């Protein structure tokens, strides 16, 4: 078995919208993820802009065009006006229009930018898709070359925009090459798959040992659904028990999986058994609760 890599992941920025992970390189006119600096295609640094920035520029240009029309209308009025009174009234009217127009721009700028951003993505969806597909191919190449960390970092960004089973499987390929630690920003919900996958089962086991708080209903259901396959693994019972141990986080989960837990009590560490006894009230079935408590007493060596 190959030795696991000791890794450190970059901090993935948290944005309001997935589109914030996408940038546009003005050097080679391609779309790429925001982590790629300088641009991997043209190598130029500091020529990438966010899509939000492009939308803002478009909105600003529209505003300036509108302002230009108002000024031109005022100039036209100045030429055709027959008296100073008409010029004065026209000037006041233009100033009021400019103030109102500026006020409306400032008031609705954000909503307008959002609309422009959506319009831009719709209009360039095919190009964005092709550029992201190229990056996806690069990720696969990196994996083939054994650069699991580099590929995983890219996949984390890419999956903010494109999420499919293939990407999840490749993420798992990378994750299974890492020596996982509690301090790493581990993911779980974003790598779950519909079908049985041994890489995922092994990864879930690692997460269950390190970060029980990530084990949720979907993860427990996955392990129980493919229990027969899990049990073919070395330490299969420990894997099921460890994941079921995640149910001790909440009364809802404990009550839901109490029957399954009972079956795996011998594989739970003493600390988990004591914790289960402490929160036994979460099990609504009285007979089942009594049975579990009695088994725990036997397992921890009490009378």
> Which one of 23-31, 69-77, 133-141, 151-159 is the stretch in contact with Zn ion (CB under 5 A)?
23-31
Number of Cβ within a 10 Å radius of residue 274: 12
Find the binder of Zn ion among 27, 90, 150, 236 (CB under 5 A).
27
Instruction: Kindly tell me which of 94 and 124 has the beta carbon lying closer to Zn ion.
Output: 124
Annotate the chain with DSSP letters as a single string: -PPPEE--PPPPPP-SSGGGGEEEETTTTEEEETT--S-TTT--SS-EEEHHHHHHHHHHHHHHHHHHHHHHHHHHHHHH--SHHHHHHHHHHHHHHHHHHHHHHHHHHHHHHHHHHHHHHHHTHHHHHHHHHHHHHHHHHHHHHT-HHHHHHHHHHHHHH---HHHHHHHHHHHTTEE--TTS---SGGG--SS--HHHHHHHHHHHHH-GGG--HHHHHHHHHTHHHHTTSTTHHHHHHHHHGGGGG-HHHHHHHHHHHHHTGGGS-HHHHHHHHHTGGG---HHHHHHHHHHHHHHTT--
**Contacts of Zn ion in 257-296 (CB under 5 A):** none
The tally of CA atoms less than 13 A away on the side-chain side of residue 210 is 16
Total site size for Zn ion, rule CB under 5 A = 6
In the bound complex, what is the minimum distance in angstroms from residue 160's beta carbon to Zn ion? 20
Q: Return the number of the residue (47 or 260) whose C-beta is nearest Zn ion.
A: 47
Listed ranges 20-28, 118-126, 219-227, 286-294: which one lies at the site for Zn ion (CB under 5 A): 20-28
CB 34 → Zn ion: shortest distance, Å?
A: 13
Shortest Cβ distance from residue 116 to Zn ion (Å)?
Answer: 23
For residues 31 to 60, the per-residue mask of contacts with Zn ion, x marking binding by CB under 5 A and - elsewhere, is --------x-xx------------------
Q: Which of 7, 12, 28, 288 binds Zn ion (CB under 5 A)?
A: 28
For 192, 225, 263, the CA distances from 212, given in Å and listed in that order, are: 16, 19, 20
Nearer to Zn ion, 25 or 273 (CB): 25
27 vs 66, beta carbon nearer Zn ion = 27
Q: Which of 19, 23, 25, 265 is in the footprint of Zn ion by CB under 5 A?
A: 25
The reply on whether position 223 binds Zn ion by CB under 5 A is no
Q: Which residue, 97 or 132, is less far from Zn ion as judged by CB? A: 132
Nearer to Zn ion, 41 or 202 (CB): 41
Candidates 22-30, 53-61, 94-102, 213-221; binding stretch for Zn ion (CB under 5 A): 22-30
Site of interaction with Zn ion (CB under 5 A)? 25, 27-28, 39, 41-42
């Amino acid at each position: 078995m190959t030795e696991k890599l000791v890794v450190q992941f970059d901090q993935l920025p948290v944005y309001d919208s997935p589109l914030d992970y996408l940038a546009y390189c003005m050097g080679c006119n391609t779309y790429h993820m925001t982590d790629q600096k300088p641009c991997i295609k043209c190598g130029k640094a500091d020529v990438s802009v966010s899509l939000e920035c492009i939308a803002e520029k478009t909105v600003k240009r529209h505003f300036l065009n509108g302002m230009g029309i108002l000024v031109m209308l005022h100039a036209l009025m100045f030429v055709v006006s027959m008296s100073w009174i008409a010029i004065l009234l026209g000037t006041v009217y233009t100033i009021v229009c400019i103030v109102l127009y500026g006020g409306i721009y400032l008031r609705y700028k954000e909503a307008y930018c959002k609309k422009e951003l959506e319009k831009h993505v719709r209009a360039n969806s095919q190009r964005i898709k092709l550029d992201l597909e190229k990056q996806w191919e690069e990720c696969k190449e990196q994996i083939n070359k054994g650069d699991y960390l580099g590929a995983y970092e890219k996949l984390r960004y890419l999956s903010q925009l494109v999420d499919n089973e293939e990407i999840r499987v490749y993420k798992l390929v990378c994750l299974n090459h890492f020596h996982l630690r509690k301090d790493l920003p581990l993911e779980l919900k974003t790598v779950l798959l519909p079908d049985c996958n041994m890489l995922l089962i092994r990864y879930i086991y690692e997460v269950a040992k390190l970060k029980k708080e990530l084990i949720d209903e979907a993860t427990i259901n996955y392990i129980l659904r493919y229990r027969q396959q899990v049990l073919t693994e070395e330490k299969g019972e420990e894997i099921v028990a460890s994941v079921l141990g995640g149910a001790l986080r909440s009364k809802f989960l404990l009550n839901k999986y109490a029957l399954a837990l009972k079956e795996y009590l011998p594989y739970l560490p003493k600390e988990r058994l004591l914790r289960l006894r402490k929160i036994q009230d979460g099990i609504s079935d009285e007979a089942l609760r009594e049975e579990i408590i009695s088994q725990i007493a036997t397992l921890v060596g009490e009378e």
